[in-house]
């Protein structure tokens, strides 16, 4: 306990330096901005801004990038409530009751409860990271290659189960991602794989290029297909602070949402996205009068909003302790860390305590800032929503091009984002989700490395994964959840979680 306090003290000392506070603020501001704007997500933005952080010190750079990520969760709810369009994928559920509240003239209260719930969830998640950091790091140190491999397989299995839609399509996407990851020079033998003699493929496909194509460019193409209907709630926003009665009604939901979001966020495999859906479903089940949901129930805003923020933050746990990115944004963080010469994993906490604890402390400070950025400034964000998409996407296009070019100064990288953009657009058109592909791509490289190492150590005996207790348990979990996802009864309830919302 005293250790924890001392560590948090160190963290706050780092995070409260003038430079880091400024960077944290900038990150939160940019995060809110892209959260508010539908069609620009944190993945594309962080990929775009990666080159900007080259000149910063690693702590500041990661504080800023983290701020963008959780800031986007706050901003996304503003759009969901006022315009009935989810600003982010995680705020889809908020549109249901949040927008209804806005229609009833309670937009301010909805925004207020969303922000307060998020702040509460953020605080809890910050403490959770701080508390779990040390034990998990110790656990990670006894992990060998077999355990790491098993853990990543489990992560991918979770990604399959937690993805929307067809299980088969999600599995296919993950495999395609792994296949893409194998392009480039083989690390162990130095042999070029599937490069077809193209020089620019020698180093493989850059992760930010793939992310920008699938999530930046493809998103633009998808949005261009839909004619815009943006109807900002005409009614006044009204008072922002919820009344006592509102707070009392929302508090249990916020608590449950925080718990659900935190747990799902830790799971490798993009659990953070499922958090709000699960929270909404549970709130509806528990409510005395479920028919109020969808008609402006305050619990339907408090629960999911707390869940998405908690999940966004606990997603840092696997990254910081095990070095395994649970989702695409965290994978970009890996990229940012490697650029600065930091190897993500259990070593971060011992070798770079400044970075580890500074980042955690900055999250709490960032959450506090976001409260200020979001509530009083909501008028500015509403005006931003009036910018028509026909002006927004050329700007995004240009920023994407500049951002990607600046990473490696390769025109071929810029061309590749166009190619992956069209590819991603095709995937969407055929009902595939690009998120599992990206996760497969990220984990693919690590998985191959650990698989090879584990099998070399065991002299080619594949049973090693079942002989070592930890990896055997992890594989057991993997098979159980995969089997469960394929069972008809569970499949139906899994679909229900997504469709009900």
> Residue 401 and residue 420: Cα distance in Å, rounded?
13
Residue with smaller CB distance to another protein, 103 or 445:
445
Q: Give the pair of three-digit tokens for residue 424.
A: 């991603």
Chosen residue from 235, 455, 477, 497 binding another protein by CB under 8 A: 455
Question: How many other CB atoms are found less than 10 A from the CB of residue 241?
Answer: 12
Query: 218-225 and 389-408 are packed helices; what angle lies between their axes, rounded to 10 degrees?
Result: 170
Q: What's CA 73's distance to the chain center, in Å? A: 9
> Residue 307 and residue 76: Cα distance in Å, rounded?
13
Give the per-residue contact string, 55-74, with another protein (x = CB under 8 A; - = no). Answer: x-------------------
Q: Give the pair of three-digit tokens for residue 152.
A: 């990543």
CB of 450 to another protein, least distance (A): 12
Residue with smaller CB distance to another protein, 142 or 409:
409
- Residue 500 as a binder of another protein (CB under 8 A): the answer is no
449: nearest Cα among 345, 341, 379, 347: 345
Chosen residue from 4, 134, 224, 263 binding another protein by CB under 8 A: 224
Stretch that binds another protein, among 39-47, 176-184, 288-296, 370-378 (CB under 8 A): 176-184
Residue with smaller CB distance to another protein, 69 or 389:
389
Stretch that binds another protein, among 1-9, 65-73, 148-156, 459-467 (CB under 8 A): 459-467
Could you tell me how many residues of this chain bind another protein (CB under 8 A)? 72
Q: Give the pair of three-digit tokens for residue 121.
A: 């969830």
Alpha-helical runs (H) found in 316-410: 316-317, 328-339, 347-351, 353-374, 378-384, 389-408
The secondary structure element, H or E, covering residue 21 is helix 18-36
Chosen residue from 203, 231, 461, 467 binding another protein by CB under 8 A: 461
CB of 136 to another protein, least distance (A): 28
Chosen residue from 189, 229, 489, 499 binding another protein by CB under 8 A: 189
The secondary structure element, H or E, covering residue 252 is helix 244-266
- Residue 188 as a binder of another protein (CB under 8 A): the answer is yes
Q: What's CA 432's distance to the chain center, in Å? A: 19
Chosen residue from 255, 422, 472, 497 binding another protein by CB under 8 A: 422
Stretch that binds another protein, among 263-271, 326-334, 369-377, 408-416 (CB under 8 A): 408-416
Q: Give the pair of three-digit tokens for residue 306.
A: 């707390």
Phi, psi (5° rounding) for residue 60? -60, -45
416: nearest Cα among 431, 430, 398, 401: 401
- Residue 198 as a binder of another protein (CB under 8 A): the answer is no
What DSSP string describes 450-475?
Answer: HHHHHHHHTTT-TTHHHHSHHHHHHH
- Residue 468 as a binder of another protein (CB under 8 A): the answer is no
Stretch that binds another protein, among 73-81, 179-187, 203-211, 361-369 (CB under 8 A): 179-187
Chosen residue from 431, 466, 476, 484 binding another protein by CB under 8 A: 431
Stretch that binds another protein, among 216-224, 318-326, 344-352, 357-365 (CB under 8 A): 216-224
Facing residues of 274 across strands? Answer: none
Residue with smaller CB distance to another protein, 189 or 229:
189
Stretch that binds another protein, among 79-87, 118-126, 323-331, 385-393 (CB under 8 A): 385-393
Chosen residue from 10, 134, 384, 490 binding another protein by CB under 8 A: 384
Q: What's CA 367's distance to the chain center, in Å? A: 16
Residue with smaller CB distance to another protein, 225 or 289:
225
Chosen residue from 221, 259, 263, 477 binding another protein by CB under 8 A: 221
CB of 52 to another protein, least distance (A): 6
Residue with smaller CB distance to another protein, 182 or 249:
182
CB of 224 to another protein, least distance (A): 4
Phi-psi region of 204 (alpha: psi -120 to 50; beta: other; left: phi over 0): left
The secondary structure element, H or E, covering residue 193 is strand 192-193
CA distances from 39 to 47, 89, 306 (A): 15, 10, 22
Which is it for the CA torsion 439, 442, 446, 448, positive or negative?
A: positive
Facing residues of 185 across strands? Answer: 192
Contacts (CB under 8 A) with another protein, residues 227-266:
227
Contacts (CB under 8 A) with another protein, residues 78-117:
none
CB of 15 to another protein, least distance (A): 23
Contacts (CB under 8 A) with another protein, residues 112-171:
166, 168-169, 171
CB of 394 to another protein, least distance (A): 4
CB of 185 to another protein, least distance (A): 9
Contacts (CB under 8 A) with another protein, residues 32-51:
51
Chosen residue from 236, 244, 391, 499 binding another protein by CB under 8 A: 391
Q: Give the pair of three-digit tokens for residue 124.
A: 């809890």
289: nearest Cα among 299, 304, 277: 299
- Residue 463 as a binder of another protein (CB under 8 A): the answer is no
> Residue 52 and residue 46: Cα distance in Å, rounded?
10
**Cβ-contact 93, 276 below 8 angstroms:** yes
Facing residues of 193 across strands? Answer: 184
Contacts (CB under 8 A) with another protein, residues 287-346:
none
- Residue 418 as a binder of another protein (CB under 8 A): the answer is yes
């Amino acid at each position: 306990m005293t250790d924890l306090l001392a560590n948090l003290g160190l963290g706050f000392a780092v995070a409260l330096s003038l430079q880091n506070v400024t960077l944290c603020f900038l990150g939160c501001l940019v995060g809110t901005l892209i959260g508010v704007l539908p069609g620009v997500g944190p993945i594309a933005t962080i990929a775009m801004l990666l080159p900007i952080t080259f000149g910063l010190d690693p702590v500041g750079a990661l504080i800023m990038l983290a701020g963008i990520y959780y800031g986007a969760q706050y901003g996304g709810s503003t759009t969901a409530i006022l315009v009935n369009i989810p600003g982010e994928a995680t705020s889809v559920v908020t549109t249901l009751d949040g927008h209804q509240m806005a229609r009833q003239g309670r937009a301010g209260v909805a925004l207020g409860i969303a922000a307060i719930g998020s702040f509460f969830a953020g605080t809890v998640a910050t403490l959770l990271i701080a508390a779990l950091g040390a034990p998990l790091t110790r656990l990670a140190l006894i992990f060998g290659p077999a355990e790491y491999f098993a853990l990543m397989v489990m992560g991918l299995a979770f990604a399959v189960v937690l993805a929307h839609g067809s299980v088969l399509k999600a599995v296919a996407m993950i495999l395609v991602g792994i296949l893409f990851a194998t392009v480039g020079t083989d690390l162990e033998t130095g042999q070029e794989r599937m490069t077809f003699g193209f020089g620019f493929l020698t180093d493989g496909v850059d992760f930010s290029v793939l992310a920008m194509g699938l999530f930046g460019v493809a998103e633009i193409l998808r949005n261009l297909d839909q004619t815009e209907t943006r109807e900002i709630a005409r009614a006044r926003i009204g008072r922002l602070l919820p009344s006592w009665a509102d707070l009392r009604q929302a508090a249990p939901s916020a608590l449950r949402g925080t718990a659900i979001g935190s747990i799902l966020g830790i799971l490798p495999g993009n659990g953070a996205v499922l958090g709000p859906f699960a929270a909404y479903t549970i709130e509806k089940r528990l409510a005395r009068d479920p028919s109020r949901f969808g008609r402006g129930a305050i619990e339907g805003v408090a629960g999911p909003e707390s869940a998405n923020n908690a999940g966004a933050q606990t997603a840092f746990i696997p990254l910081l302790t095990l070095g395994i990115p649970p989702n695409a944004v965290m994978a970009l963080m890996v990229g940012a860390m490697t650029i600065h010469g930091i190897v993500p994993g259990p070593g971060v906490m011992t070798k770079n305590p400044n970075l580890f604890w500074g980042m955690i402390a900055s999250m709490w400070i960032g959450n506090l800032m976001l409260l200020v950025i979001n509530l009083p400034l909501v008028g500015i964000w509403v005006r931003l929503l009036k910018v028509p998409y026909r002006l927004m996407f050329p700007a995004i296009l240009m920023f994407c091009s500049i951002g990607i070019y600046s990473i490696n100064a390769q025109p071929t990288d810029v061309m590749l984002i166009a190619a992956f953009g069209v590819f991603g657009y095709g995937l969407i058109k055929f009902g595939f989700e690009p998120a599992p592909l990206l996760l497969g791509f990220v984990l693919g490289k690590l998985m191959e490395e650990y698989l090879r190492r584990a099998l070399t150590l065991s002299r080619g005996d594949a049973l090693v994964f079942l002989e070592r207790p930890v990896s055997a348990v992890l594989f057991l979990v993997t098979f159980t959840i995969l089997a469960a996802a394929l069972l008809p009864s569970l499949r139906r309830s899994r679909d229900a979680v997504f469709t009900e919302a």
